[in-house]
Structure 1
């Protein structure tokens, strides 16, 4: 009975993780037309986070005792999972190719694996480690890292900082439910904190707000800018964060981290379909490899509910720990 419940929880967690990757992956397709219409990338990031914070505000009011009980968690989630990832990534792509920055950022699953193994001192199966390696290799093909590669020390540091912030997202999401901290409340306050921090950097009062009243071009077709912004806020942020955090609590951080690599595949496919950006053979092959890595990792790593017994050496692990 316990095995059935565990399998059901793992299956639901995997479905939520895939849904989160799909939602996050659609953000770039909607954001690019807005940027081409005249908004700065940081403007789009601020609109995304601030809009999502406004949507989640009722939940923040409902859990208004959270800042008193878990101030460090909320500050960390807002700083790392919301503002940090976004700001570091956009700063990185201003100095190094987008493909390189994306690949470095998605080294986060490997860093999560290192956190679990060496900081938490929990066993990690060899198959899970192989899944991370496959996913990283597949991402190298998806983003075509060899195209226009150039090394800029600060740019690489910024991209690695984005990866570290993403690790913080998975680790904080994993522990966010402790001591009665509702994950939805954590997300709501995290978005509020992130919006506040990004306001200082983005300076939205200098934004060209008239862009939002017009239309943007998506593969030659005119699309209302407000519709694109609505998609970014509601689907690519609110839905993406909610499903992502809940999935991490049902899976393990390392599994959810590898599945999150699907975001790059989703972004590439949507860019092909909606923006007319063609897929090369190497990108198709890379997408298949990423899928294979995600499947291997999720099918071999212990489910969330079994992590503690395994850490104590109880139960049976089918793959040797590394």
Structure 2
């Protein structure tokens, strides 16, 4: 009974995280269309979230010295790279298209694992990727020579590539990958037979790995520093944030959209995502994260008037179905706990439970 309640709470948190992430593009695009540079919007999002989580970073101030590669990797790839390229994409193509292109991440990661690392992958994962790639052909209408701006599609594809590098870094870090952003773990579980060494882990204590919230807090600081070099935030027209910005049929203050992006689409999304992964198995959390694309596309449809048409809608359904098939087929899904005999005491001290490096 308790296990069922924990699972239900985890699913609820994962849904909240996915919905929060999905609303990011819809809130950011009006700011971009009002004259703000995409990189300026990204900088405000990341810097604002870093400021909110600064107390956590100060509490775990030794973490960057113990895990510099993990913190820098998550900051540059998992946050700065993905977010900057995604926002550059939505400035040129519809939000729904951009977020669906990001779902090529599992296919790219699978190709890396199979052909570069030469490791086995499950047949179900391959089937899911084939569905996702086929659906993407419908999304971009490949038979008409790409129906959307090539630069925008390239930026969205670049965001997917950043996710692959981010996943690989998390895999090499083993259980230190606990800080991974649950709304972005599309490719978790594509390996054959990797039951509990996924890219995420429920542990957050200092013995089993760094606190995932602390990694996120420090990664946001790294991302803020990196984006400051390219975004030049001193050129932001701060007074324009007090002006009204069109959002569908209504006008809202620009500062309100920035606050929504920072507090809901970043802080709430990350924290609820981490808590969800702690209560669910990583594959289940990743499947629920597919809701992000649906939320983003639906909100863009109703609030921004971005009607995708029948082919992209069908393609998006195939993309989500592919991600679902690839991840629900993971052999490492966590079973319901049941009664078990007490384990025999080891004759020698047990080895630390570390995931194998990738």
| TM-score, length of structure 2 as denominator length | 0.70
**How far, CA to CA, are the matches of 2:14 and 2:334 in structure 1?**
16
**Higher deviation after alignment, 230-239 or 7-16:** 7-16
**How far, CA to CA, are the matches of 2:163 and 2:310 in structure 1?**
29
2:40 to 35, 40, 43: 43
1:277 to 306, 316, 336: 306
In structure 2, relative to structure 1, the CA distance for the partners of 1:154 and 1:220 (3 Å cut) is: closer
Structure 1 contact 26–266 (Cα < 8 Å) conserved? yes
Count of matched residue pairs: 302
Structure 2 contact 71–218 (Cα < 8 Å) conserved? yes
Aligned to 1:74: 71
**How far, CA to CA, are the matches of 2:92 and 2:323 in structure 1?**
30
Aligned to 2:110: 113
Matched, 1:55 2:71: no
**How far, CA to CA, are the matches of 2:13 and 2:129 in structure 1?**
19
2:19 to 11, 16, 22: 22
Aligned to 2:296: 267
Displacement, 1:159? 4.8
In structure 2, relative to structure 1, the CA distance for the partners of 1:53 and 1:247 (3 Å cut) is: same
In structure 2, relative to structure 1, the CA distance for the partners of 1:304 and 1:18 (3 Å cut) is: same
**How far, CA to CA, are the matches of 1:185 and 1:291 in structure 2?**
31
Displacement, 1:108? 1.0
Displacement, 1:89? 3.9
Higher percent of residues as helix: 1
**Higher deviation after alignment, 177-186 or 73-82:** 177-186
- Summarize deviations over 1:71-123 as a string: whole Å, max 9, x none: 11101110110111123345567788988765554321112334555677775
RMSD (Å), alpha carbons: 3.7
Structure 2 contact 25–90 (Cα < 8 Å) conserved? no
Displacement, 1:35? 1.5
- Summarize deviations over 1:236-275 as a string: whole Å, max 9, x none: 112223344555675457x766665543332221011112
Aligned to 1:85: 82
In structure 2, relative to structure 1, the CA distance for the partners of 1:197 and 1:298 (3 Å cut) is: same
- Summarize deviations over 1:220-244 as a string: whole Å, max 9, x none: 2111222211111112112223344
In structure 2, relative to structure 1, the CA distance for the partners of 1:92 and 1:234 (3 Å cut) is: closer
Displacement, 1:277? 2.4
In structure 2, relative to structure 1, the CA distance for the partners of 1:137 and 1:153 (3 Å cut) is: closer
Displacement, 1:135? 3.0
In structure 2, relative to structure 1, the CA distance for the partners of 1:158 and 1:95 (3 Å cut) is: same
Matches within 5 A, 1:247-266: 250-252=280-282, 260-266=289-295
Structure 2 contact 140–147 (Cα < 8 Å) conserved? no
**How far, CA to CA, are the matches of 2:56 and 2:276 in structure 1?**
19
Runs of 5+ consecutive residues of structure 1 not aligned to the other structure: 307-322
Matches within 5 A, 1:1-322: 16-90=13-87, 104-115=101-112, 124-142=121-139, 144=141, 149=146, 159-170=156-167, 171=170, 172=177, 173=180, 174=199, 179-245=208-274, 250-252=280-282, 260-303=289-332
Structure 2 contact 96–293 (Cα < 8 Å) conserved? no
**How far, CA to CA, are the matches of 2:300 and 2:57 in structure 1?**
34
Displacement, 1:297? 2.6
Structure 1 contact 103–145 (Cα < 8 Å) conserved? no
Structure 1 contact 135–258 (Cα < 8 Å) conserved? no
